[in-house]
Structures are given as structure tokens and as C-alpha cells.
Chains A and B, each alone.
Chain A
Amino acid sequence: GQQLNQSPQSMFIQEGEDVSMNCTSSSIFNTWLWYKQDPGEGPVLLIALYKAGELTSNGRLTAQFGITRKDSFLNISASIPSDVGIYFCAGRDNYGQNFVFGPGTRLSVLP
């Protein structure tokens, strides 16, 4: 079946640094989503992408839908302690189909 890979698996950064993570697939997707899960909570949608090449921002977060439609990137600028959590990407190839999730990138922010 379809699988998503996320890298890095985990990362430790200093507060104030910028962060980049990515998500890749062996198949083409038409929708990419980025979620964040805080400890003890469920995933919360951060950014949704619907078109190849699309670049969308949400505050300090920016995500891009890769041109090949097989990858997506999430950048966080000027990280703060509350950015700590697990970031999941999810994709699907057709509207109405189920989403496939990646294994997540665990982010730790050191003060």
C-alpha cells in the first residue's frame, strides 16, 4: 500500500533556530496535510496543500507541495518552546479517499 516517509525522525534544536522537515511518498498525492500533536493530545491540522508547487504559510510555519507531487516540506522559523511535539504529514491521491499518514518527526526545542 501507500507509505509516507518523514525525515528527520527526531530533532533537537535551540530556541530561535529555524526547522525544516520533509515528507516523501513513492506515489503521487493530490492533497498534503501537516498536523502537529502535542503531548497527550490528538493531532491538530496546521496547513493543508492542494496544488503542486503551492506554498502556504500559517504564522511562523510554511509548507510547500512538491512539484513532483511526491513530497512536501514544512519549515518553522524562529522556533519557540511550544513548538515541541510530533509533526505528521498526511496525503491522499483522490478526494474522498482515506488519508495516509507518515510516522512523524519529533521536535524538541532547547531553551
Chain B
Amino acid sequence: EAGVTQFPSHSVIEKGQTVTLRCDPISGHDNLYWYRRVMGKEIKFLLHFVKESKQDESGMPNNRFLAERTGGTYSTLKVQPAELEDSGVYFCASSQDPGQRQETQYFGPGTRLLVL
């Protein structure tokens, strides 16, 4: 069974440009999460989709970030326009039953974004 995949693995862009990150969750997982880790700091929650609906987007930093999950399969996270402080590793994770006690979130390898 394929795990969570993310594309691209790395992205280097200039301040003011737009970048779109993609995440393909494990097949059959309704729940998809986006996280970000800025260098040396904690992995911070950005948002949570249940199928195509945004369940919780309280972690989104500002309106330069737009996440979509049309059709409830893969998700995209667009940053427009990118700023220097957006640099970091963006992780995607998926799970089957978030309300269950023994929920397991499976992480993708991450996209390393560097904004110059």
C-alpha cells in the first residue's frame, strides 16, 4: 500500500512568487492534515480536511495560504505571495478515524520550501 506522498520534495522561490504544494494521502483516508516545521521549532498544525471539507483551519498563518481538497482526494496548499518567513518543511498527514482513541496519523516525506 502506498504511503502519503508529497510533491515537490524541495522548492526554492523568490519572495513574492507563488508556490503550490501537493499531497496525496493514503487511499481511503478521509482525514488529511497539513503541518509546518520552521527550522529547529515544533511541527505546527495548519489545517485539517475531512474529505473535501475544512474541519479546522485555525493554524493557517494568514490569508496568503490557501488549501484545497477538491473531490476529497489529493490536497494542494498554495502560498501567494511567499514571504521569507514561510520557509520551512511542510508536512502532510492522513488518517482514518480522528475521533477514535487510537488514531494514527501517517506522515508524508515533506516539502522543503526555501523563500529567498
| Interface, chain A (partner B; CB < 8 A) | 3-4, 31, 35, 40-45, 48, 50, 88, 90, 95-96, 98-104
What's the nearest-Cβ distance from chain B to residue A55, in Å? 17
A101 touches B100 (CB 8 A): no
Give 1 or 0 for each of B80-116: 1 = CB within 8 Å of chain A CB.
0000000000010100001111111111111000000
Taking CB atoms, residues of chain A closer than 8 Å to B1 are none
Taking CB atoms, residues of chain B closer than 8 Å to A90 are 43
Complex alpha-carbon distance, A43 and B110, angstroms: 9
- Name the residue on A nearest B33 (C-beta): A98
Given A88-B43, A99-B45, A104-B42, verify A45-B4 contact (CB < 8 Å).
Answer: no
Partner of B99, one of A43, A88, A95: A95
What's the nearest-Cβ distance from chain A to residue B81, in Å? 27
Taking CB atoms, residues of chain B closer than 8 Å to A4 are 42
B48 within 8 A of A: yes
Chain B, interface size category, equals: 20 to 34
User: Shortest 10 CB-CB distances between A and B: which pairs?
Assistant: A42-B107, A101-B43, A96-B99, A103-B42, A43-B107, A101-B42, A42-B109, A98-B45, A42-B108, A41-B109
Taking CB atoms, residues of chain A closer than 8 Å to B41 are 103
Taking CB atoms, residues of chain A closer than 8 Å to B105 are 45, 99
A43 touches B40 (CB 8 A): no
Complex alpha-carbon distance, A97 and B93, angstroms: 15
Given A42-B4, A43-B91, verify A95-B107 contact (CB < 8 Å).
Answer: no
Taking CB atoms, residues of chain A closer than 8 Å to B6 are 42
Complex alpha-carbon distance, A43 and B59, angstroms: 19
Taking CB atoms, residues of chain B closer than 8 Å to A96 are 98-99
